[in-house]
Amino acid sequence: MTSESKVQPAKKSYFFSKGYIDLKNTVKGAWQRNGKSIKNYKDKLSYLKFEKLPKKLLLGSLYLLAMISVIVCGTIITTAITLIHISVLLLFMMLVYLGFSIVWCIDRFYLKRNQIFTACHICKEKSLIPIYLCPNCNEKHTRLTPGVYGILHRTCNCGAKIPTTFFNGRKNLSAICPNCKSPLSDRESRPICIPIIGGRSVGKTAYITAFSKTFIDEVAPAKGMNIEFYNSDKERIYREIENDYLLGETRMTQRSTDPNSASSISFSFFVQHPTFKPERLMHIYDIAGEVFTNNNENEVQQQYEYCQGMILLFDPFSVVNIADKYESSMSKNDIAGIGKADITYILDSFFSKLRMVTGLSEADMLNTPIAIVISKVDTADLADIVGEAAVNKLMAVDSENFTDYYDTMDYLCRKFLIDNDLSHFVTQIDNKFKTNRYFACSSIGHTKGAGKYEPMGVLAPMEWLCQRADKKMANVWNNTSFSKVPAYINKLS
């Protein structure tokens, strides 16, 4: 049984409820009156037994003739009137059903065509239509679409008229998640959901801080985009982001000890532009590294099933031989901040989650694009190997083969991993993700706590994913033109 078929706190449309009752009562009443007339003449015939014979014969003939006339003509007339009444009412019902079907299809087509759905920022449940609340009495209305409770409006039991379509104000109603009942503010926007994945201390929170501050304060105004925070909690997160950005700090993503709290936190904000109809809603997910690697989240991470892209953040110094090679040129703070989780274990944990959430088999490939981002390249001059300096150098030395900046970075990142005995990691990513690209970045730009953020390379992975997720976003946020497939992967074989 769908939610639409369940009893709602609303009055059904006349043509879906009372219309049938009125039709039944009208038909029943007409036949009852016809039967009553026949019975009346029958009773009169029975009274004639007390009359004298001449009168009995005369009146009996008249009553009998009248009764036969009612039986024949009355039945014909009643049948005709009944059929006319049924036909007229059914015609109106058919028009109403047709209207309901057309409006429902328009509403559903709009939602599907514009890729509108609700991604709960708490439990991560995906739903096409959330539960909307009556603005007058806060009663819960599920599946608020054109249907048996109304075509353009639904009448709540309290008497309030509630819009049922995208074009007459439904998105302005307060809503809650159908699963966890958390308040939602999605207002029928088009979500762009991107989880940031990685183990403990790889720099996920620093990356979100660097990207969000740069995108909201620099990219959006330059491109004519307006930013609006999802709710007051998300705005509070941004104030913390601003403070951390100025101080060059980042805090560990907190692991909630409350089993009813979400393990994955989203930083969510609306992106508005004259060409974005509907507006976009960015969900950037962060989850504590130890929760991610230990597979003990409080909720199923369903965002992996419907997200438009993923970022796998990789701390190169978490690999023992890389850390040993560069440790002598690292500060004590940098060494203390090295991620401890083994990248192979992180990848296995990630694939396990994907299989659980998406039903992906060992042999299947995922169509969702993934950006593998080598972080902390400011440390130990790693930028000279995979970062901007290395890219520019290779493009200058071999300008015939290396003509694209981010294709060259992709090549250098893959080569760096393969040269450091991580070819299995590269192979696993290629086997599991049809579309993948490698980037190098430094979220803070220097040792943590040594001053204001000076991010390098944090925008490119998100821009690549957003361009692939949304053509209109690609038309607006178009600082970089990425090739469909990095051109130099085969050079590594």
CATH class of the domain at 190-492: alpha beta
Which of 228, 129, 120 lies closest to 183, judged by CA? 120
* Distance in angstroms (rounded) separating the CA atoms of residues 356 and 361: 9
* Distance in angstroms (rounded) separating the CA atoms of residues 310 and 159: 46
How far apart, in Å, do the first and last CA atoms of the chain sit? 55
Distances (CA, A) of 121 to 137, 193, 231, 288, 383: 25, 10, 11, 16, 35
What is the structure's pLDDT at 256?
Answer: 46
Check: CB of residue 442 under 8 Å from CB of residue 377.
Answer: yes
Cβ atoms within 10 Å, residue 93: 17
What is the structure's pLDDT at 3?
Answer: 40
Check: CB of residue 343 under 8 Å from CB of residue 426.
Answer: no
Joined tokens for residue 350: 């990630």
Which of 189, 188, 135, 164 lies closest to 4, judged by CA? 164
Which of 128, 207, 200 lies closest to 170, judged by CA? 128
Joined tokens for residue 224: 């004519």
* Distance in angstroms (rounded) separating the CA atoms of residues 405 and 384: 15
Q: Which phi and psi angles does 184 have, rounded to 5°?
A: -120, 150
Ordered by start, the domain boundaries in the chain are 14-113, 118-184, 190-492
Instruction: Give 281-316 pLDDT, tens digit per residue.
Output: 999 998 765 566 566 565 678 888 999 999 999 899
Sign of CA dihedral 289, 290, 295, 297: negative
Q: Are strands 190-197 and 280-287 parallel, antiparallel or unpaired?
A: parallel
Residue 174: burial class (beta carbons within 10 Å; 0-12, 13-18, 19+): middle
Residues of the chain with pLDDT under 50: 1-5, 255-259, 493
Q: Which phi and psi angles does 115 have, rounded to 5°?
A: 55, 45
Cβ atoms within 10 Å, residue 21: 10
* Distance in angstroms (rounded) separating the CA atoms of residues 22 and 70: 25
pTM reported for the whole predicted model: 0.83
Check: CB of residue 190 under 8 Å from CB of residue 282.
Answer: no
Which of 255, 249, 251 lies closest to 293, judged by CA? 255
* Distance in angstroms (rounded) separating the CA atoms of residues 195 and 6: 35
